[in-house]
Structure 1
Amino acid sequence: ALVGAAGAAALAGCAAAHRTATAVSLLGAGVVLTLVATVIAGPLLVRPLIRVLGGAFPALFGSIGRMSQRNALRNPRRTGATAAALMVGLALVGGMSVAGASMNRSIDRQIERTLGADFAVQNRNFQPFPPEVTGKVRDTPGVGTVVRQRFAAVAVALPDGKRVETTASGYDRRLDSVAHINYVHGDTAAALADGHIAMDVGFAGKHGVRPGSVLPVEFQGGRRARLTVGALTNQDAAEGFGIEGGMYFGIGTLEKYVPGTPDAALYVNAAPGTDVAQLRSHLEKTLAAYPNVQVRDQADYKKLVHDQIAVLLYLVYALLGLAIVIAVLGVVNTLALSVVERTREIGLLRAIGLARHQLRRMIRLESVVIAVFGAVLGLALGLVWGVCTQRVLALQGIRTLAIPWGTIVAVVIGAAVVGVVAALLPALRASRMNVLAAIAHE
């Protein structure tokens, strides 16, 4: 109870924290403490949970179902220890699934809220592309508005004395036609005016920046400028990969201090009366000579993000799969020992009429209820970890919580299948016992 209370307090503190470093530290402590507490309390949870999880067995399988349920209850410590390994692996799977689903949903909503262009033209690896690409896109039949985006590494001296090195964007003046920006102060004209800069309102508040503040900015190559804060935005955008503060300015400002910066993206709208699908076909023909430069719409962006997050999740799932294999071996071992310990009992049951297929079913059901018990404990713990992880990610812009119920149901069903597979060899061994030899076993 003490370890569990400490873990719950750490997770609650993590969810309420306002600093990322503090939240991450509390999350790590909370995960470890709640995991230890659940493993310790596992045997105490066996009786109430297995009575519920196996409650339908007597109705579905008669006396065989009742015996399988009671066999799982007869040694709570062993059942709890057996389920613990599976619980740990599935808790991590559950937590990562919630975090991944929340990242996908948050970024989807951010794309829907922000991207107003019909298409974005970008390099496959997000690097700048050759200057002639911009000219060819502008000359493509059916193209209306084209807004360029460029990136620049900047170091900004802030009023609170801190110096932040980040990546800022430069845009053309018609940004409003291809993007939906939520301004707390100012507008796009003020943000992109020469000598002005815009940034996220949360970042500005944290560092004492106000509208009209003049900030010393150092560009790559050592050129220095003093830029006026012309606008503050509230985009709820995720930060990462060296991007902090959501800073951007006009391409005119960027050209003044870092001339010749290549374009990194083009946001394209179709001309009035042009079919969007037809425009995409024209753009792809125009860019056929540049295989790394791609044309993307909202759906493509979402798929790109999902694929990147999926790669990380698949790597984690592969590692956790090894842990689950070990957990399955633990279930097999426990059932095998249980069969050996109950040799005389099994012989007596067979002598009074228990058929071989009924004996195998009894052991399989016992294995299934143990595996599902571990899965339910693990997923419950994983959901709590996942929600707390999302609260940490919310400090970086991942503000939408998503619970992947389909994945959770699939994991529970998978746990039941794991239970059946783990019971195959012990059940087969038990059914092949010689009845008289088993009765005489001491």
Structure 2
Amino acid sequence: VWVWGGPPPAAAYVAGGGDHWAAGTPPARRAAGVSPMAALADAEVAGVGKPLTVRAIVGAVVGAAGAAALAGCAAATKTASAASLLGLGVVLTLIATVIAGPLLVRPVIRVLGGAFPALFGSVGRMSQRNALRNPRRTGATAAALMVGLALVGGMSVASASMSASFDRQIDKTLGADFTVQNANFLPFTQEITDKVRGTEGVRLIVRQRFAPVAVRLPDGKRVETTAAGYDPQVDEVAHVTYTAGNSAAALADGCLGMDVTFARDHHVRLGSTLPVEFPGGRTTEMKVGALTDQGGSGGFGMQGGLFFGIATVEKYVPGGQDAALYVDKAAGTGADQLRSRLERTLKAYPQVQVRDQADYKKLVHDQIAVLLYLVYALLGLAIVIAVLGVVNTLALSVVERTREIGLLRAIGLGRRQLRRMIRLESVVIAVFGAVLGLGLGLVWGVCTQQVLALQGMTALAIPWGTIVAVVIGSAVVGVVAALLPALRASRMNVLAAIAHE
């Protein structure tokens, strides 16, 4: 149990203090560099500031390094090196985008706000120019939203690609009408298997059992993994892709099947004889009868993708239980009809579920969604921070433009028009951050999918609906953030504002 003063509080103080020190150092240095004559000036001249040359050079260098890391990630053939390059590329491109953000303000906002003059007249033109007035401030304001949306964009692409890959794999490999399994994937008793076998309308049942094994490989390594055992009719309920051999050879007595990538990595060939250890000290030698290629290094989901006949499991792991039953319907029996019969048969065993392909896809999607919900929670926090940043920026801008606002009101700008001008300025800043963040996130997501492809998840899916919804949501965030600053500006006393120094 940690107590106050232990490592977590100390780490929190150090991290918090370090963050604030790092955030406060650049403004402090800029403030210290202001000349006395400039400080004595009556007003700040809009658009005047130090050139952005240094930012351009540093941003280009860091961005090029990040792009090179992401390109290396996409070209890598090993998962560990690809993941390392992905992490480095994400960090460097994020830093580069934050540094170069002010450089992107003018070209991007000119495009995003290009329709404002046509839609809102002079109010739209002024709002666009106000957002362009201080690129450094606009870039810094949009940075918080950009970071959050970059994370969401990247994770959305990754999760959508994972879901699409699993869907493709399920369609490709699962051929059974139904699968009977425990909800928690634990084995079940022989009684359940017997009841399913006796259900009316069942034509075929293929059992699946698992057995922990240790295999001594030709390269000298000893790998502990879990192998699967199947009945001989496995080809009728599963679509297995073989690069050598077939199911009959893999399930024969004294033989096993293995994933081709695992075999290649450990110098195993078709026909190799491997020492295999089972629980309880039982050992034997088994011949590699087939090599499979199920689209990933995991084969059937376990390291090595080892599988053999269920008779081998019963021989070396007696008294085992079935982990799953793959069920095909008999001729003349409908899928819905058989499902209802199976569910009635298993009514006394609520932990055992009957699933078809659609159920499996939903199960995978739900598991991936848990991770995505966590990312959305982080997005909510990022949005709160971004709203506060936009509110502060607009409030400061309103104070700095007090006299300007008074003059605009004096020459006929209405309260409603003033509020609209500030809202449009806030919207274009928020959408600017969303565009940068989502663009960066899409690149991250595509590179993440390339890493996942090394594990067999080869489908790339981009959730365009989510992306469009996030852009629209960013515009709404801009409107909400502008409410208080716009209200304050519209309530200014015109004469007092004109006389403001």
Give TM-score, length-normalised by structure 1.
0.98
Contact 2:171-2:357 at 8 Å conserved across structures: yes
Moved more, 49-58 or 324-333: 324-333
- The answer on 1:352 being equivalent to 2:387 is no
1:241, distance to aligned residue in structure 2 (A) = 12
Moved more, 98-107 or 178-187: 178-187
Q: What is the CA–CA distance in structure 2 between the aligned matches of 1:19 and 1:333, rounded to whole Å? A: 46
1:89, distance to aligned residue in structure 2 (A) = 0.3
Contact 1:178-1:269 at 8 Å conserved across structures: yes
Choose which of 270, 282, 286 in structure 1 pairs with 2:341.
Answer: 282
Contact 1:167-1:242 at 8 Å conserved across structures: no
Q: What is the CA–CA distance in structure 1 between the aligned matches of 2:376 and 2:263, rounded to whole Å? A: 38
- The answer on 1:109 being equivalent to 2:168 is yes
Pairwise mapping of residues 187-266 of structure 1 onto structure 2 (< 5 A)? 187-237=246-296, 239=298, 243-266=302-325
1:298, distance to aligned residue in structure 2 (A) = 0.4
Q: What is the CA–CA distance in structure 2 between the aligned matches of 1:311 and 1:65, rounded to whole Å? A: 42
1:238, distance to aligned residue in structure 2 (A) = 7.2
Q: Which runs of 5+ in 2 are unaligned?
A: 1-59
Change (3 A) 1:160 1:152: same
Q: Kindly provide the CA deviation profile for residues 374-409 of structure 1, in whole angstroms up to 9, marking residues without a partner as x.
A: 000001100110011111111111111111111111
1:225, distance to aligned residue in structure 2 (A) = 2.1
Report the secondary structure of 1:174's partner residue. Answer: helix
Pairwise mapping of residues 25-424 of structure 1 onto structure 2 (< 5 A)? 25-237=84-296, 239=298, 243-424=302-483
Q: What is the CA–CA distance in structure 1 between the aligned matches of 2:220 and 2:380, rounded to whole Å? A: 48
Q: What is the CA–CA distance in structure 2 between the aligned matches of 1:216 and 1:320, rounded to whole Å? A: 52
Contact 1:171-1:250 at 8 Å conserved across structures: yes
Q: What is the CA–CA distance in structure 1 between the aligned matches of 2:278 and 2:389, rounded to whole Å? A: 59
Q: RMSD in angstroms over aligned alpha carbons?
A: 1.3
Q: What is the CA–CA distance in structure 1 between the aligned matches of 2:286 and 2:152, rounded to whole Å? A: 47
Q: What residue in structure 1 maps to residue 3 of structure 2?
A: none
Q: Which runs of 4+ in 1 moved over 3 A?
A: 237-242
Q: What is the CA–CA distance in structure 2 between the aligned matches of 1:94 and 1:424, rounded to whole Å? A: 27
Contact 1:7-1:30 at 8 Å conserved across structures: yes
Q: Match for 1:82: what amino acid?
A: T
1:24, distance to aligned residue in structure 2 (A) = 1.1
State percent identity of aligned pairs. Answer: 81
1:226, distance to aligned residue in structure 2 (A) = 1.4
Give TM-score, length-normalised by structure 2.
0.87
Report the secondary structure of 2:232's partner residue. Answer: coil
Contact 2:228-2:307 at 8 Å conserved across structures: yes
Moved more, 104-113 or 254-263: 254-263
Q: What is the CA–CA distance in structure 1 between the aligned matches of 2:297 and 2:156, rounded to whole Å? A: 19
Q: Which runs of 5+ in 1 are unaligned?
A: none
Contact 1:191-1:249 at 8 Å conserved across structures: yes
Choose which of 1, 8, 12 in structure 1 pairs with 2:71.
Answer: 12
1:323, distance to aligned residue in structure 2 (A) = 2.0
1:152, distance to aligned residue in structure 2 (A) = 1.5
Report the secondary structure of 2:303's partner residue. Answer: coil
Q: What is the CA–CA distance in structure 2 between the aligned matches of 1:82 and 1:219, rounded to whole Å? A: 61
Q: Kindly provide the CA deviation profile for residues 266-292 of structure 1, in whole angstroms up to 9, marking residues without a partner as x.
A: 000001111111000000000000001
1:243, distance to aligned residue in structure 2 (A) = 1.9
Q: What is the CA–CA distance in structure 1 between the aligned matches of 2:282 and 2:497, rounded to whole Å? A: 88
Report the secondary structure of 1:65's partner residue. Answer: helix
1:222, distance to aligned residue in structure 2 (A) = 2.9
Q: What is the CA–CA distance in structure 1 between the aligned matches of 2:426 and 2:76, rounded to whole Å? A: 42
- The answer on 1:435 being equivalent to 2:485 is no
Q: Match for 1:307: what amino acid?
A: D
Q: What is the CA–CA distance in structure 1 between the aligned matches of 2:478 and 2:284, rounded to whole Å? A: 66
Contact 1:110-1:237 at 8 Å conserved across structures: no
Q: Match for 1:89: what amino acid?
A: G
Moved more, 158-167 or 173-182: 158-167
Q: What is the CA–CA distance in structure 2 between the aligned matches of 1:211 and 1:153, rounded to whole Å? A: 22
Report the secondary structure of 1:245's partner residue. Answer: helix
Q: What is the CA–CA distance in structure 1 between the aligned matches of 2:299 and 2:500, rounded to whole Å? A: 66
Contact 1:166-1:242 at 8 Å conserved across structures: no
Report the secondary structure of 2:219's partner residue. Answer: coil
Change (3 A) 1:168 1:322: same
Q: What is the CA–CA distance in structure 1 between the aligned matches of 2:359 and 2:149, rounded to whole Å? A: 31
**Paired positions, count:** 442
1:256, distance to aligned residue in structure 2 (A) = 1.4
1:438, distance to aligned residue in structure 2 (A) = 0.8
1:67, distance to aligned residue in structure 2 (A) = 0.5
Q: What is the CA–CA distance in structure 2 between the aligned matches of 1:51 and 1:162, rounded to whole Å? A: 61
Contact 2:258-2:299 at 8 Å conserved across structures: no
Q: What is the CA–CA distance in structure 1 between the aligned matches of 2:216 and 2:473, rounded to whole Å? A: 54
Contact 2:262-2:297 at 8 Å conserved across structures: no
Report the secondary structure of 1:165's partner residue. Answer: strand
1:219, distance to aligned residue in structure 2 (A) = 2.0
1:209, distance to aligned residue in structure 2 (A) = 1.2
1:202, distance to aligned residue in structure 2 (A) = 1.5
Report the secondary structure of 1:338's partner residue. Answer: helix
1:5, distance to aligned residue in structure 2 (A) = 0.8
